[in-house]
Structure 1
Amino acid sequence: MLSNVELKTTDPKHPFGKLTPRMQHYRDKILDAKPYVDAQRAILTTQAYQAHQQEQVDLLRAHVLAHILENMTIYIEPETLLAGNQAQSNRWAPIFPEYSMNWVIDELDQFEKRPGDVFYITEATKTQLREIAPFWKNNTLEDRGYAAFPKASRLFYDLGIIGAAGNITSGDGHIAVDYNNIITKGLKWYETRVLAEKAKLALTDINDQKKLYFYEASLVVIKAVRDFAKRYAQLAETQAKTCSDPAEKQNLLTMAEILHKVPYEPATTFREAVQAVWLTHLILQIESNGHSVSYGRVDQYLNPFYERDLAAGILTADQATELLTNLCLKTLTINKVRSWGHTQFSAGSPLYQNITIGGQTVTGEDAVNPLSYLILNAIAQAHLPQPNLTVRYHKGLSDDFMQACVAVIKEGLGMPAFNNDEIIIPSFMARGVKKADAYNYSAIGCVETAVPGKWGYRCTGMSFINFPRTLLIVMNGGVDPESGEKLLPDYGHFTDMTSYSQLATAWDKSLREMTRQSVIIENSCDLALEQNYPDILCSTLTEDCIGRGKTIKEGGAIYDFISGLQVGIANLADSLAAIKRFVFDEKQLSTTDLWTALQNDFAGPEGETVRQLLLTAPKYGNDDDFVDQLIVDAYAPYIDEIAKYKNTRYGRGPIGGLRYAGTSSISANVGQGHSTLATPDGRHARTPLAEGCSPEHAMDVDGPTAVFKSVSKLNTKEITGGVLLNQKMSPQVLRTPENCEKLIQLIRTFFNALHGYHVQYNIVSKATLLEAQAQPEKHRDLIVRVAGYSAFFVGLSKETQDDIIARTEQAL
């Protein structure tokens, strides 16, 4: 096996080597590109909808993708070895009008004025979007999804207590297809399967007739992808004719030869395989703007091509690394503009495109291979917030590979994140996932996990429930204190309660009702998507949609488990601890005094006195059983209740069709904090909530081991949607080999002994972050881990920046 040491250079400033001059130029060009809003896809989509309105929905959607791929602007930059672009220029963000146009038109004049995630837009683009807007009035996913919400449930959505804006303003995403099949068998293998299934149909059976439309649609998109690749092949040939540089001319001719072949035909070389993966990945995101479309276990499916080419002498490690850095740079060119309301849940314009490496083979052996190291090199060299990089940890992961991972962490990318095989694989198998598939899982987006090519949409990423705001509603007798709306049954007002058990009982019953409402909202979103917006290419590439003749939303996937996201876990824990300790156990505060202080946001000397007392309560993240057990107990009703409800695909083919918990709150902690009044943990109104399952800022004072112990007490076996833990350290901490080894042993202990699910590290000092706020032009490359993803720090809103700055800086 190629070791990490052999791949690294002797340059201490660049331990993983530097980008080739070609890729360095490409990187500079991409980062210099201003993110504009692009109307081209919106125009082409409108044309296709107008031309094919009479078609069955599967065929309509197939023709939409085909029309876009046939007519969109394409280009091949002189720096790239890989062809494929999403929009008219790198980093431009297409508009997807079929999902939503209301917010687009409403915010046209605001894109450049945003406090973060700024997009530029020309007056010509504004005019183009306004011209097509009338066609989409009452004709989008947002319109249909919102109309599908039952009236009582709609109120929870309107008030922001249950968030699902991303589910009705964009496609699903949160998926990885089986790239191994694509590069080893080619799209023609899928085409052959479709034709064989189509030939079996008995069209007098209405179910078979429905399958016919899906199969015909699949054939349309397979041809469209093949033709799209050939458009690039022809462009490369045209550019080669006028190219005076022999090396560049040969590069273009090689590119053309590859694109005449893949992804329709199987790949035979490493470069062909990488090109096939990139083009497929790209088109999936042209088809739908759902984010978290991920690459799966890249080291596993690309390594055979790498080792074969290496042995044949047609590829070197340096050349392979350059192709991988090219893939990383291409990944960053994909962009997505969201409504401002949705942006607050996804600060930093993330697409969550995840690469997974490491892990185990199905026989339990270490799956790390030479390409695993090469990918670490490429990620370090590219130094970008995308793609996400996740390492699958297991007990047999070598010290050498762990050292290589920590070396990349030291680069300050917030990557790699670690997911734990020892908890995830058994959790999957307990839910009915076959052993071979469970051992082949990958990260999808942030911390969520699924089996590439066999899992339906949104293994995590359904609705968001605001736990702290829910607590305030419970304390207020079921009335939202922010809006005054009656939302939940009245189990007694907090000021009338005489024991903690009364509050705990009210919380249990109320959270179950909140959970039920979230299911209704999620089902409404899924119903609108299924009826009107099937993703034909993604379904074709997901098992066993072809065998069943169904799209993913109709039950085509082998597995279909989903989870929502629960926000503010640490705030809930700390709030309950303060209430129990100071109100009911020690009686230092009356229920009326606390409630009054909360309603007044701790105003005045009396309010501040109450707040200071609350801040002295036991805090989650310090291995204190008192508070840790309170959050375990408070989380249990959700975990129990959500498991009762099936998703819309249950009984229609997939294994599962069930729901489970998940803590990957993305940056929703900031957005949902805006609508949350002061909470009993001492948090002021409108300020951010804690993110993921991480402790509240500055409250985890007993070091990283204590944090790990607190998090490990959560019921991680049931929180299969992901237990997201962010940790922050100063770069100085990891300057010595001894401390790097300490970090490795800390991670091993967390995963091996404490059965942790996930951890990731921000390696950046508070001083650097403050300097970047003051002088952003000097810190363009500064990357931070926001939640389950990384972002360029200077592109974030000041509020999100402040939230990251406030996180506890751990020592070893």
Structure 2
Amino acid sequence: MAIKDSYQISTEPVRTERIDRLHRYITSSKYGICVERGRLLTEYYRAHTDEAPIKRRANGMNHVLQNMSIYILPGSMFAGNQASHPRWAPLFPEFDMEWMESEMLNGDPYFPDQRPEDRYILREEDKPAIREICDFWKGQTVTDMLRTRLPKEALATHFQIKAADIGAYFQGGDGHFAPDHPWLIQNGVQTIIDQCEEGLANIDYKNDPECVKKKDFYEAAMISANAIIQFAARYADLAEKLAAEETDETRKRELLEMAGICRHVPKYPARNFREALQFIIFTHICIQIEDNGAGISFGRYDQFMQPYYEAGIADGTLTRELATELTENFFLQIYTCNKVRSWVDTDFFRGVPMFQNLTIGGVDPETMADATNDMSYIALDATYNTRVPQPSLTVRFHKKTPMEFKMRVAEVVRLGTGLPSIFNDEVYTRAMMNRGYEMRDAYNYCIIGCIEPGAPGLLGGRTGGAWLNCTKALEMSLYNGKDPRTGICLHENANGKTLATFESYQEAEDAFTDQMKYYIKMEAILENTIDQVWEEKLEEPMAAIFACPTTTIPRGKPIKQGGAKYDLTGQQTIGTANVANSLYVIKKLIFEDKVITGAQLQHALETNWQDETTTPTGPQIKAMCLAVPKYGNDVDEVDFLARDMMAMIAKELSSYKNTRYGRGPIGGTLHCSTSTVSSNTPFGHVCGATPDGREAYMPVADGQSPMRGTDVSGPTAAIASVAKLHNELFSCGSLYNMKFSPEELA
């Protein structure tokens, strides 16, 4: 290992010949758009208009799975593909076809292959199929229904003001859960079929008012379960066909073994390490094809794979080297999954993230002992050697995490790939129990999506929800509720005042709180209307039986009807630092030091700090604002503003119920996270200048991290500021990004 400098590791990955070939093949594949899923689903829906929605969806997915193109990657030990080519993305027109028509057929604002970033191949020969798909779905998509169901204020909040944005769920499914892989690989899909048959036979048609819904669910669940078994059988046939044509005896043997595995899993329980991974691949891909949501995650990979690893080592069928190679093959197989978003939504998700999170480390939820094991290290090695962004590797740290493990994590982080992410068990388990999780389930958490904690196999709902633009709410509070960019005013301040007329700092803070609470209400309306439309039109039986089989099947309920043990709807809050810094500027400069008036600051904001005819000038006022202490420097006065404002937001969010409240699950409310992904950039594009010294339409702060360039007291001070937040209230996750350039640490 060569040390380039004191920070960056410069080393070549250690790959077997198989993994190296597979890696080159997959990573050289360009993104593309696959029309098969959209075409096949449309074909089924056009021909079957009279089925119950949940059964129509189950049968539609079955039609897709039995007719889509399948292939086996060169040299791969596993079968399973989401689309007709690696890294191509299927189409989901049932959610929204308007952007498909605008972009793919009309090039507005870009054709997919001409985008400035995140380009996708779109073949000319596929455009007639896209036209047919769009023509069929016009007027009957989720987006169409939402436009007729949502109040005009909520529509304006989302489409025009951008105080909240929930476009990801106009255009795709929920995702954001971790299937119960331990239960699935230990029981097999046939067990699901058997349990559904029993549930169907035991429906109480005399006394159960939900009897018809349960009948539809059980029938749809059996269709879905049989569909994945038949899907796997198609790969068994393909592997046998390829084996018959194969001249290399080693590869012929591998393909025949693959055929046997595909006939066994996922129908029956996995018998060994390789079968367990193949089982997971099949279930994961089928959920992706049904749902299209981001954040379909894997749970605590090292915990449920360790028994298969130990059994293989004990009986001599597995070595550490083979287990590492199979894990790397598994990682690359998962990396082939992709998702295409509209250009507008892409702005919130740059780099085509899928958030297929895989968690290692942490504690045993029964003994509270450290749970690090061989598979924890193998997962780190696989990330180190494959160096692909998916799956998103997450590490759980706690007080007893071994130093050896921490050092290996540090080595992988030093590659600069951004993986793994590190999470604090003490903070996350406390936040989850604060939201109603049982202690054992809280200590068994995994990361779902980006930073969101959840109990694998037990959580429904939506850990990632609408983006809440706190900076926009702050801006409108300075103009008596009016959005200066669009001129729209949905809600005047309760005190009827602007920045120019506030008579005390408390009036400014009260105005922000008033606007924030109003737009939280709008967000709740957006969230619940979407969930209601999905429940009526797009329930997902496959997601239900794989995500939460131990609760959905006994209850006879899919997730949107209350089938999960826990159900919470998450929100991403954007602009923590901008809000705190801006409020502190108002408090300090206007009401404490009295060096400028509210009217002077408001004029400077309206003119984006450019007016040099005033006294002081716009640039001088900006300099004053920038000089005021900022969040991220361990300054209590401003850090406590961030703490209190975020606590208010988190508490207000959790006061709203979701559509599953009182229908079985624990929770049933909205809750808060500080995740942003890349949304801080597009949200900044709709926000004018803010009192913290930020210029109009520039990006706002990332997560609960300090605003760029304002944390000038070093990393320890920045961490101290973040630690002052009431992170136990952020049960949907706390995101703090700290980045160093190699030059700074050389």
Q: TM-score, normalised by structure 1?
A: 0.87
Give distance in 1, aligned partners of 2:662 and 2:55.
25
Partner residue, 1:24: 20
Give % identity: 39
Partner residue, 2:134: 133
* 1:292 corresponds to 2:299: no
* DSSP 3-state at the match of 2:396: strand
CA contact (8 A) 1:16 1:380 kept: no
Deviations 1:494-544 (A, max 9, x none): 111121111111222221112111111111111111111111111012431
Partner residue, 1:788: none
Higher mean alpha-carbon deviation, 345-354 vs 16-25, is at: 16-25
Partner residue, 2:387: 383
Q: How does 1:166-181 map to 2 (within 5 A)?
A: 166-181=168-183
Give distance in 2, aligned partners of 1:168 and 1:544.
27
CA contact (8 A) 1:37 1:125 kept: no
Match for residue 634 of structure 1 among 639, 642, 645 = 645
* DSSP 3-state at the match of 1:651: coil
| 576 and 387 in structure 1: CA distance in 2 versus 1, 3 angstrom threshold | same
* DSSP 3-state at the match of 1:274: helix
Match for residue 562 of structure 1 among 562, 569, 572 = 569
CA contact (8 A) 2:75 2:251 kept: no
Give distance in 2, aligned partners of 1:348 and 1:463.
19
* 1:75 corresponds to 2:71: yes
CA contact (8 A) 1:16 1:377 kept: no
CA contact (8 A) 1:58 1:534 kept: yes
Question: How far is 1:489 from its partner?
Answer: 2.2
Q: How does 1:174-189 map to 2 (within 5 A)?
A: 174-189=176-191
Give distance in 2, aligned partners of 1:733 and 1:631.
28
* 1:106 corresponds to 2:108: no
Question: How far is 1:696 from its partner?
Answer: 0.8
Question: How far is 1:13 from its partner?
Answer: 7.1
Give distance in 2, aligned partners of 1:17 and 1:23.
11
Q: How does 1:430-449 map to 2 (within 5 A)?
A: 430-449=434-453
Structure 1's consecutive aligned runs of 4 or more residues displaced over 4 angstroms after TM superposition are 12-17, 732-735
Q: How does 1:10-159 map to 2 (within 5 A)?
A: 18-108=14-104, 110-159=111-160
Partner residue, 1:308: 311
Give distance in 2, aligned partners of 1:110 and 1:570.
36
Partner residue, 1:545: 552
Partner residue, 1:229: 232
CA contact (8 A) 1:328 1:386 kept: yes
* 1:646 corresponds to 2:668: no
Question: How far is 1:138 from its partner?
Answer: 1.0
Partner residue, 1:318: 321
Give distance in 1, aligned partners of 2:736 and 2:379.
23
Partner residue, 2:261: 258
Deviations 1:640-688 (A, max 9, x none): 2212111100000101102221110111101111111111111111111
* DSSP 3-state at the match of 1:543: helix
Q: How does 1:201-600 map to 2 (within 5 A)?
A: 201-204=203-206, 205-362=208-365, 363-459=367-463, 461-490=464-493, 491-541=496-546, 542-600=549-607
Deviations 1:240-280 (A, max 9, x none): 00100011001101111100000110011100001101111
* DSSP 3-state at the match of 2:569: strand
Higher mean alpha-carbon deviation, 265-274 vs 110-119, is at: 110-119
Deviations 1:710-761 (A, max 9, x none): 00111111111111001112346777xxxxxxxxxxxxxxxxxxxxxxxxxx
* DSSP 3-state at the match of 1:495: coil
Question: How far is 1:587 from its partner?
Answer: 1.3
| 585 and 14 in structure 1: CA distance in 2 versus 1, 3 angstrom threshold | closer
1:176 partner amino acid: A
| 44 and 682 in structure 1: CA distance in 2 versus 1, 3 angstrom threshold | same
Match for residue 720 of structure 1 among 728, 731, 736 = 731
Give distance in 1, aligned partners of 2:78 and 2:588.
61
Give distance in 1, aligned partners of 2:178 and 2:72.
26
Give distance in 1, aligned partners of 2:319 and 2:743.
35
Question: How far is 1:173 from its partner?
Answer: 0.3
| 566 and 316 in structure 1: CA distance in 2 versus 1, 3 angstrom threshold | same
CA contact (8 A) 2:509 2:583 kept: no
* DSSP 3-state at the match of 1:37: strand
Give distance in 2, aligned partners of 1:17 and 1:342.
34
Give distance in 1, aligned partners of 2:696 and 2:247.
64
Match for residue 657 of structure 1 among 655, 668, 672 = 668
| 403 and 734 in structure 1: CA distance in 2 versus 1, 3 angstrom threshold | farther
CA contact (8 A) 1:177 1:296 kept: yes
Structure 2 unaligned blocks of 5 or more:
2-7, 105-109
2:563 partner amino acid: G
2:696 partner amino acid: A
Give distance in 2, aligned partners of 1:29 and 1:294.
24
CA contact (8 A) 2:13 2:386 kept: no
Deviations 1:273-309 (A, max 9, x none): 0110111111110111011000110000011001110
The number of residues matched between the two structures is 724
CA contact (8 A) 1:678 1:685 kept: yes
Give distance in 1, aligned partners of 2:147 and 2:352.
24
Give distance in 2, aligned partners of 1:734 and 1:458.
39
Give distance in 1, aligned partners of 2:429 and 2:626.
39
Partner residue, 1:696: 707
Question: How far is 1:206 from its partner?
Answer: 4.3
CA contact (8 A) 1:555 1:653 kept: yes
Deviations 1:143-167 (A, max 9, x none): 1123221122221112211101111
Give distance in 1, aligned partners of 2:94 and 2:739.
40
| 333 and 341 in structure 1: CA distance in 2 versus 1, 3 angstrom threshold | same
Question: How far is 1:17 from its partner?
Answer: 5.2
CA contact (8 A) 2:118 2:350 kept: yes
| 561 and 680 in structure 1: CA distance in 2 versus 1, 3 angstrom threshold | same
* DSSP 3-state at the match of 1:403: helix
Give distance in 2, aligned partners of 1:304 and 1:341.
45
Question: How far is 1:637 from its partner?
Answer: 2.6
Structure 1 unaligned blocks of 5 or more:
6-11, 736-812
* DSSP 3-state at the match of 2:727: coil
Partner residue, 1:801: none
CA contact (8 A) 2:485 2:688 kept: yes
Partner residue, 2:196: 194
* DSSP 3-state at the match of 1:478: coil
Partner residue, 1:676: 687
Question: How far is 1:227 from its partner?
Answer: 0.4
Q: CA RMSD in A?
A: 1.5
Give distance in 2, aligned partners of 1:16 and 1:233.
36
Give distance in 2, aligned partners of 1:126 and 1:612.
53
Higher mean alpha-carbon deviation, 203-212 vs 23-32, is at: 203-212
Give distance in 1, aligned partners of 2:690 and 2:530.
31
Higher mean alpha-carbon deviation, 710-719 vs 17-26, is at: 17-26
Question: How far is 1:636 from its partner?
Answer: 3.0
Question: How far is 1:597 from its partner?
Answer: 1.0
Question: How far is 1:595 from its partner?
Answer: 0.7
Give distance in 1, aligned partners of 2:148 and 2:592.
47
Give distance in 2, aligned partners of 1:705 and 1:223.
55
| 676 and 304 in structure 1: CA distance in 2 versus 1, 3 angstrom threshold | same
* DSSP 3-state at the match of 2:360: strand
